[in-house]
Chain A
């Protein structure tokens, strides 16, 4: 898993079956960001970003540490609201509705735009309760049987069902790191969001667990739009349809993953993916 010294060959990029989906994905804009600026107190973290996110695509954000990619990701479901000193300017729409509009309910937004964090953070409750919490919260299941169905299908989608079906009442915190992360993905999937945000979902996992999560992302992209932040350029190359390169709070370049890794338009992108900095 070492950083490639040269731009990647086209063949290795298409591992995730990217090309076939890119053409399909271009159809419809799911989310749109217009001149988004983020401030932490007086310091500006994001300097005006414009970006379209298409339905059912996997979009990866790459860039050196502190470039603002996680900050921007957290704007997409307003997780930045929880930070007191954080201020967001500009406009972000989901299905053409402004998500920062004053009458916008952030609870509904987060049910539509789920998030998976860098460090697995299951609730200190049973595996079943971890998954069932979201659907129960939003009243998605009226009867116990319906809830059981949601729990099973979510765990199946996260590829965790076979491993945990006999111990659903055991604490979710007792699972291995990789299993915990897939549990968190299942927890997000259980609410049936349109978009899943992933903030470096594999950075705390070993290579085998990483491979499982990447495969899962690939499968999930059939039904969800996925936006992920990653430090690992190969991971972006493996799973993303499109890749966006961030640098110093700017969105430098966004294009199909093939294009970014083989033929970057900007010198900074070129330098980053060839390992000159970052």
Chain B
């Protein structure tokens, strides 16, 4: 008994105090590490967003001509647009109409554009300079002009101010996306075209206008400036419709069955392991599966959003099943017991009590799964959705591409100066869609949330 109780108490306090300093140090280190991780992550995300926005946002505005176009009757040598006459059969009318359309296609619309630009420049163009002149306006505009006239033949003989997209190279030149000091040999445009572009820019004939073509046109290879996202957007939309209508009901009902009704035995264990493994399968493997089953065996068309949707459904199913099961499992068992104890059957218990409580989690999981499918590219490459398609698909069976695939195709385009911005613009559209889907998920979660 050499140490008194008081001494022992003192010793104990000192020991704890010493260890306290160490504990605080450890906690501080951990807190700082956590903070640093968060800051690093946020910085990277900020850099990513800033670079995409800085490159992409300017692409929403495009160099555009505002010129007066004279619909010259001497150039447009067409009889009036056929109207169906009384007594004429539908077939005969169609025949006549098609002939007229063919002749309208043969009109030299380019000449009208040439003259309009010539007038804007205010100088006579020699025939040898025609090539330089035609490099100003993008080639797709002559078809736009034709379509405009076919729509409204009364334009004949009138002068109308029209908006026409400048060619991609003029856009690059005016926006300063190419070094102006490069020698002629390495410039995309001739010296004459560059001079004209600058002149028209100064005159205000070429203006930087909001680019509706980005949203209304399909992809284009001949008229790069008018390449747009409409086809890819519709393709993605059709695919998402297929994914939502198939994967959500299938995934949610299999999750409910597995979680609430299936007996727990070897078979269900095996199914569970397989579902978890499927969620980790690289997405390109699903593309191979889709190519061999849907296209090779079932003979579904290539490049169709239906097939893309089916492949993405397979890919999304495990995600939705896992999210739904987790959500169901988080409902306290006391709720199930309460319902069973009153005499509700198992189905009633699930549908009256468990499912409504699990709904926010199920919806969030499903929407995140669908958002993941929306951004998926790899499996689509294997079922031909990376083909160049210049039509907006009207049904899920038409050939189409998808937003992420369009991004992939554009970023590989050889006209880098123009398509770098275009790619970023497409990324912004895709990100916007994703963010709205995620916002929807959050909103639904808040709306259906119940506390107990």
Which residues of A does B touch, CB under 8 Å?
77, 79, 82, 84, 107-111, 114-117, 119, 121-124, 133-134, 137-138, 173, 184, 187-188, 191
Q: Is the CB of B452 within 8 A of A173?
A: yes
Q: Is the CB of A115 within 8 A of B334?
A: no
Give the contacting residue for A191; candidates B335, B338, B342; CB below 8 A. Answer: B342
Q: Is the CB of B334 within 8 A of A108?
A: no
- Judged by a CB distance under 8 angstroms, whether B336 is at the interface is yes
B334: which A residues are within 8 A, CB to CB? 117, 119, 121
Most chain B beta-carbon contacts within 10 A, residue among A107, A108, A138, A191 = A107
11 contacts between A and B (CB under 8 A): A107-B344, A110-B340, A110-B341, A114-B341, A117-B338, A123-B338, A124-B335, A124-B452, A173-B452, A187-B338, A187-B342
When chains A and B are docked, how far (Å) is the Cα of A124 from the Cα of B354? 11
B452: which A residues are within 8 A, CB to CB? 124, 173
| B51 CB to nearest A CB, Å | 46
When chains A and B are docked, how far (Å) is the Cα of A40 from the Cα of B204? 86
Give the contacting residue for A111; candidates B264, B335, B343, B451; CB below 8 A. Answer: B343
Supply 4 further A-B pairs (C-beta < 8 A) apart from A84-B264, A133-B352, A184-B338. Answer: A84-B263, A108-B343, A110-B343, A119-B334
Q: Is the CB of A123 within 8 A of B343?
A: no
Q: Is the CB of A124 within 8 A of B341?
A: no
A108: which B residues are within 8 A, CB to CB? 343
When chains A and B are docked, how far (Å) is the Cα of A130 from the Cα of B289? 50
Which residues of B does A touch, CB under 8 Å?
263-264, 332, 334-345, 348, 352-353, 357, 450-452
Give the contacting residue for A137; candidates B264, B337, B348, B451; CB below 8 A. Answer: B348
Which A-chain residue is minimally distant from B352 (CB atoms)? A133
When chains A and B are docked, how far (Å) is the Cα of A134 from the Cα of B264? 29
B342: which A residues are within 8 A, CB to CB? 110-111, 114, 133-134, 137, 187-188, 191
Which A-chain residue is minimally distant from B332 (CB atoms)? A121
Which B-chain residue is minimally distant from A112 (CB atoms)? B343
Which A-chain residue is minimally distant from B333 (CB atoms)? A82
Closest 10 pairs (CB-CB, A-B): A124-B452, A121-B334, A110-B343, A111-B343, A115-B341, A134-B342, A121-B338, A124-B450, A107-B343, A173-B452
When chains A and B are docked, how far (Å) is the Cα of A138 from the Cα of B345? 11
A109: which B residues are within 8 A, CB to CB? 343
B264: which A residues are within 8 A, CB to CB? 84
A124: which B residues are within 8 A, CB to CB? 335, 357, 450-452
A123: which B residues are within 8 A, CB to CB? 335, 338-339, 353
Give the contacting residue for A122; candidates B337, B338, B343, B357; CB below 8 A. Answer: B338
B343: which A residues are within 8 A, CB to CB? 107-111, 114, 134, 137-138, 191
Which B-chain residue is minimally distant from A197 (CB atoms)? B341
A191: which B residues are within 8 A, CB to CB? 342-343
When chains A and B are docked, how far (Å) is the Cα of A124 from the Cα of B342? 15
B353: which A residues are within 8 A, CB to CB? 123
Which B-chain residue is minimally distant from A117 (CB atoms)? B337
When chains A and B are docked, how far (Å) is the Cα of A117 from the Cα of B264? 25
B339: which A residues are within 8 A, CB to CB? 123, 133
Q: Is the CB of A121 within 8 A of B348?
A: no
Which B-chain residue is minimally distant from A172 (CB atoms)? B452
B336: which A residues are within 8 A, CB to CB? 82
B450: which A residues are within 8 A, CB to CB? 124
| B447 CB to nearest A CB, Å | 15
When chains A and B are docked, how far (Å) is the Cα of A173 from the Cα of B338? 13
When chains A and B are docked, how far (Å) is the Cα of A116 from the Cα of B338? 8
Most chain B beta-carbon contacts within 10 A, residue among A119, A123, A187 = A123
B335: which A residues are within 8 A, CB to CB? 121, 123-124
Q: A82-B336, A124-B451 are in contact. Are A77 and B344 (CB under 8 A)?
A: no
A137: which B residues are within 8 A, CB to CB? 342-344, 348
When chains A and B are docked, how far (Å) is the Cα of A114 from the Cα of B342? 6
| B261 CB to nearest A CB, Å | 12
When chains A and B are docked, how far (Å) is the Cα of A77 from the Cα of B344? 13
Q: Is the CB of A79 within 8 A of B348?
A: no
When chains A and B are docked, how far (Å) is the Cα of A133 from the Cα of B357? 16
Which B-chain residue is minimally distant from A116 (CB atoms)? B341
A122: which B residues are within 8 A, CB to CB? 338
